[in-house]
Structure 1
Amino acid sequence: MEDAKKEKSFNKKRWISVLISVVLGIIIWFIPVPGAFSVNAWHLFAIFVATAFGFMLRPFPSGVVTLIALTATMVTGILQVPEAFEGFSSDTIWLIVSAFLFSRGLIKTGLGRRIAYFLMARFGSSSLKLSYSLSLGDLIISAFVPSNTARSGGIMYPIVRSIASVAGSEPDKEPRKIGAYLIMSLVHNDNIASGLTMTACAGNLLVVTFAAKIANIHLSWFSWFLMASVPALVAFIATPWVLYKIFPPTMKKTPEARIAAQQALGDMGKMSAEEKLLSLIFAITIIGWATTGITGLSSTVVALVGLSLMTLTGILKWQDITTEKGAWDVMFWMGGMYSLADNLSKMNFFKIFARYVARDLHGISWPLGLAILIFIFIATTYGFASGISHLLAMYPVFLTVAIGIGVPPFLAVMSLGICTVLYQTLTHYASGPAAVYFGGGYVEQGTWWRLGLEMLLMNFVIWGFVGFTWWKILGLW
């Protein structure tokens, strides 16, 4: 009886969400088309907004929402079949798919766990040192696992959970002893790790794509790393320490963690042949990503070379690839949303929109205008249940507007791009890693939101002063 009531309530909320998304799209559709926009561009924008709200409200899985949206564009004649499905041939989408498959290899061989346990065994004598060692492990892994959700859920969270359990810190028993601190420290530093390199987070690859299409800015793996390195290093060092002060664990020393890590490494034994081989493949891949400007190979081609080597050596079987549901699910809904955004760009929607906004912001200096745009950009995150959904819906628009009001293109690309990783723990539903770590039950929602806002403000200070100074030195503005 209780299950039937829950199901009825769920269905009611589902169809209310559908109604909200559809009605919003219909309203925009029938608004008189502003003079500068074409009819097709305006109607595609209506579908784009309805889809974004569908992602936000999630009445159905994202793939279902995407399927309906693409079908609507073809039924109404706005897009032809090749245009509607062009996103699935995007090199960015295939790089994201490769990221998930790389993660499968790292998890399957146990190499990710070995890296984290090694750092714990060496540096885990106190809760603060343990936090730094785990964060460093995540940072190292992020260089060759371009999916922060995959490395959080498949590698790092299980390790953090086991450490807390060994220390006697459970969600329902002394969570503040060490578990809650490690959870918050690692998830917030994962934001920094996600912003350090172009391939550390799937969203970064979309930022690179939009930067090329909208701002004609072509970022390489090395250029992204160079621009992010100094402020990211400062933020990476500051995060565990600041959380240690504002959200301290009651357990300061952690000898149990080092012992547990040493035991885990002992149980794992020596590095297997597969781990050594995978380490070599990852090294080749990282070198390939770092030298794309010299070789002329795209990051996607480099990733596919690495993936091919993993299959040729047997690290990944074809069954591993076909059963990686997350990769193919993301490819479908992200590829579909990319098609909508890219076709809007081709119809000059974003450029025209930027001209309208720039006209309204006429007379405001670009630094003030950028500050306003960043504030609004971050604030809209509260309405989205996915960082990627927010990025796809909002980043192209805000980037176009920023450039339209005179913000130097490189500065606009990077400042808004870095925001897309810094806001990922603002709420417990803002990103995959946030959902994974919050789901452990160590931190209450109110505390999560408070710490999310406080750490975001800390990062604004660091990236605002250190980041903008560093970017000035590099000549971005």
Structure 2
Amino acid sequence: MPIPNGVKPQAWHLLAIFVATIAGFVLQPLSIGAVSIIACTMLVVLGVLTPSEALAGFSNGTIWLIVSAFMFAEGFIKTGLGKRIAYVLLSRFGGSTLNVAYVLSVADFIVAPFTPSNTARGGGIIYPIVRSICSAIGSEPDSEKNKRTGAFLIFSSYCAVITSACIFLTGASNNVLVVTLSKEMFGVDVSWLAWFAACIVPGLILSVATPWVLYKLINPELKETPETKVMAKKELEEMGSMSLAEKMLCGIFLCALVLWATSSIHGIDSAFVALLGLSAMLITKIIDWADVLNQKGAWDVLVWMGVLVNMAAFLSKLGLMTWFAGTVGQQMEGTSWLFMLVVLAIVYTYVHYGLASNSAHIMALFGAFATILVAAGAPVLGVLILFGALANSCSLLTHYGCGVTPIFFGSNYMPQGQWWRIGFIITTLHLFVWLCIGLPWMKVLGLF
């Protein structure tokens, strides 16, 4: 294609490789890690970037934050602390079906800051618990007995995993991708505390509203579930008292949380707070080096995120995003940035019907949409966090929305048509809350 006026040949060639990489992410002829390695190699072979430029993304501290947080997830699963938290809450508050949904949401909320993989948190901690609860109350996918109750608990738990991903920067790996792109493309640092402060109010509203809405939509047969309390108490008895490893992990967990929240005081980078936590887990032998090596998801994220973030950064440095924003801005001249924000947020959310990866969604659309809005005068930090949160919310649309979705959908409590219908309703609820409550709240914080 001819190079547009105002665009450097190097930027245009980089865009070609970038678009091909995103296409590979969406179509997945190979794993995304393999696609990324090929893309990184071609950047140098085709003379688009130098070797040091092509590999620069692997020195990004924020990416190492997410790698370290994956190791926290391994600690929660290996020690059983994640399950213990959930069972303690269920043994005390799990007397009704709606209460069970709220308890599982609270359990996920507690664990989410240290489990950036939705698949690890949802599939490794929350799903096994909710599936056991379904069996305890006599709800099985191959039987009509209490099937709506099982469907409610499964879908509500899935929604809790996605909502927690919105609230915490370290609640999903794609959030860190947003933060890294924000730094590389706009020169804006999004701290853990800033993300949390911006998302906690709309996130808590969604955490409270979603189970209630699902309760009305699905109408579970069972309203009271005393079996859940009995099952949770039995599981706790089998687990016994807290192990030394669990107690130490609690201490490390709380220390890391405090250090992240007070980074502006002590000045330690968030990535190195996470690495400090990982070091503590290794020293105390909560996990060992073999566990670190076995965290394939963490190293996979390091590879593809290091390559993609670096390409996006160079697209910005070479002026392509500025050119794109100016071109689109000319077409929308005279339109307020707030109107543009609402329209683009709607498009950004529902376009996920055509995507099966939150990270691919962000790489394809986040930079372009954010650039347009910033060029139109929208506040940078508010736009970045809002579109970061919406990249999680859109996962609810389909049964392939993100990596953890097939685990919950695969329980077979809900047919695909019903999953899509309810997913559309809950996604629309998310969009409404983020735009109508999230934006005013961010304005109170000074982000808008």
TM-score per shorter chain, which class?
Answer: over 0.9
What's the CA shift for 1:406?
Answer: 2.0
What's the CA shift for 1:310?
Answer: 0.3
Partner residue in 1 for 2:270? 299
CA contact (8 A) 1:128 1:244 kept: yes
Partner residue in 1 for 2:366? 395
CA contact (8 A) 1:185 1:243 kept: yes
1:80-99 equivalence runs, <5 A? 80-99=50-69
Partner residue in 2 for 1:405? 376
Give the match's secondary structure for 1:51. helix
Partner residue in 2 for 1:26? none
1:416-427 equivalence runs, <5 A? 416-427=387-398
Partner residue in 2 for 1:14? none
**Structure 2 residue 42 is matched with structure 1 residue 72:** yes
Partner residue in 2 for 1:36? 6
What's the CA shift for 1:393?
Answer: 2.3
Partner residue in 2 for 1:5? none
Separation in 1, partners of 2:438, 2:103: 24
Separation in 1, partners of 2:64, 2:121: 18
Deviations 1:321-345 (A, max 9, x none): 1122121122212222222212212
What's the CA shift for 1:101?
Answer: 1.1
Separation in 1, partners of 2:447, 2:303: 35
What's the CA shift for 1:380?
Answer: 2.5
**Structure 2 residue 150 is matched with structure 1 residue 147:** no
**Structure 2 residue 312 is matched with structure 1 residue 341:** yes
Deviations 1:284-319 (A, max 9, x none): 111111111111111100000000000001111111
Query: Match for 2:134: what amino acid?
Result: A
Q: Of 206, 210, 214, which residue of structure 1 is paired with 2:181?
A: 210
Deviations 1:250-304 (A, max 9, x none): 1211111111100000000000000001110111111111111111111100000
Q: Of 261, 281, 298, which residue of structure 2 is paired with 1:290?
A: 261
1:23-422 equivalence runs, <5 A? 31-174=1-144, 176-422=147-393
Separation in 1, partners of 2:195, 2:26: 29
Deviations 1:107-153 (A, max 9, x none): 00000000011111111111100000001000010122222221111
TM-score normalised by structure 1 residue count: 0.91
Query: Match for 1:322: what amino acid?
Result: L
What's the CA shift for 1:433?
Answer: 2.2
Query: Match for 1:292: what amino acid?
Result: S
What's the CA shift for 1:389?
Answer: 1.6
What's the CA shift for 1:70?
Answer: 1.5
Deviates more, 1:195-204 or 1:232-241: 195-204
What's the CA shift for 1:212?
Answer: 2.5
Q: CA RMSD in A?
A: 1.4
CA contact (8 A) 1:361 1:405 kept: no
CA contact (8 A) 1:55 1:384 kept: no
Query: Match for 1:385: what amino acid?
Result: A
Separation in 2, partners of 1:270, 1:191: 31
Separation in 2, partners of 1:289, 1:202: 17
CA contact (8 A) 2:121 2:161 kept: no
Deviations 1:14-54 (A, max 9, x none): xxxxxxxxxxxxxxxxx111111111111111111111111
**Structure 2 residue 408 is matched with structure 1 residue 437:** yes
What's the CA shift for 1:418?
Answer: 1.6
CA contact (8 A) 2:26 2:360 kept: yes
Give the match's secondary structure for 1:432. coil
Separation in 2, partners of 1:87, 1:435: 30
Separation in 2, partners of 1:222, 1:324: 27
Separation in 2, partners of 1:417, 1:330: 17
CA contact (8 A) 2:123 2:407 kept: yes
Separation in 1, partners of 2:206, 2:148: 25
Q: How many percent identity over aligned positions?
A: 44
Query: Match for 2:61: what amino acid?
Result: D
What's the CA shift for 1:248?
Answer: 2.0
Give the match's secondary structure for 1:285. helix
Separation in 2, partners of 1:410, 1:432: 27
What's the CA shift for 1:210?
Answer: 2.0
Structure 2 unaligned blocks of 5 or more: none
Structure 1 unaligned blocks of 5 or more: 1-30
What's the CA shift for 1:361?
Answer: 0.9
Query: Match for 1:136: what amino acid?
Result: V
Give the match's secondary structure for 1:282. helix
Query: Match for 1:199: what amino acid?
Result: T
Give the match's secondary structure for 1:143. helix
Give the match's secondary structure for 2:58. helix
Give the match's secondary structure for 2:285. coil
What's the CA shift for 1:235?
Answer: 1.2
Separation in 1, partners of 2:188, 2:39: 29
What's the CA shift for 1:379?
Answer: 2.8
Separation in 2, partners of 1:316, 1:339: 31
Separation in 1, partners of 2:338, 2:40: 38
**Aligned pairs, number:** 447
